[in-house]
A and B are shown apart, each in its own frame.
Chain A
Amino acid sequence: MDEERAERLGRVFAEVLEKQSFMFAEPAEKAAMPAAVREYVLASMTFSGHWRGSLELAVPIPMCSELAANVLGLEDDDEMATARGPDALKELLNVTCGSILTTLAGDQPVFDLSVPEVVGMFPERWKDLLQSSDTLAFTVEDVPILLRLWLGRTS
Chain B
Amino acid sequence: MAYNVLVVDDSATVRAVIRKTLDLAGVEVGEFHQAGNGQEGLDAMKGRWVDVVFADINMPVMTGIEMVERMAADGLLKTVPVIIVSTEGSATRIEQLKAKGVSAYIRKPFTPELLRSVVDEVMGVARG
Which positions in A face B, CB cutoff 8 Å? 16, 19-20, 68, 71-73, 84, 87-88, 90-91, 94-95, 97-99, 101-102, 107-115
Output the nearest chain A residue to B93 by Cβ-Cβ distance.
Answer: A110
> B112 CB to closest chain A CB, in angstroms?
13
Contacts of B89 in A (CB 8 A): 98-99, 101-102, 107
Contacts of B93 in A (CB 8 A): 110
Contacts of A98 in B (CB 8 A): 86-89, 107-108
Indicate with 1 or 0, residue by residue over B77-114, a CB within 8 angstroms of chain A CB atoms: 00000000011111111001000000000011100000
- Looking at chain A's contact residues, the main secondary structure is helix
Is B14 among interface residues, defined by CB-CB distance under 8 A?
A: yes
Do A95 and B109 contact each other (CB < 8 Å), given the known contacts A71-B13, A72-B17, A115-B60?
yes
Query: Please, how many angstroms separate the alpha-carbon atoms of A88 and B14 in the complex?
Result: 8
Is B123 among interface residues, defined by CB-CB distance under 8 A?
A: no
Is B59 among interface residues, defined by CB-CB distance under 8 A?
A: yes
Number of interface residues of B (CB under 8 A): 24
22 A–B pairs (Cβ distance < 8 Å), ordered by A: A16-B109, A19-B109, A87-B13, A91-B13, A91-B14, A95-B87, A97-B87, A98-B86, A98-B108, A99-B89, A101-B88, A102-B90, A107-B90, A107-B92, A108-B90, A108-B92, A109-B90, A110-B90, A110-B92, A111-B88, A113-B57, A113-B88
Contacts of B122 in A (CB 8 A): none
**Residue among B13, B88, B107 with the most chain A CB within 10 A?**
B13
> B23 CB to closest chain A CB, in angstroms?
11
Do A108 and B91 contact each other (CB < 8 Å), given the known contacts A88-B13, A90-B11?
yes
Is B29 among interface residues, defined by CB-CB distance under 8 A?
A: no
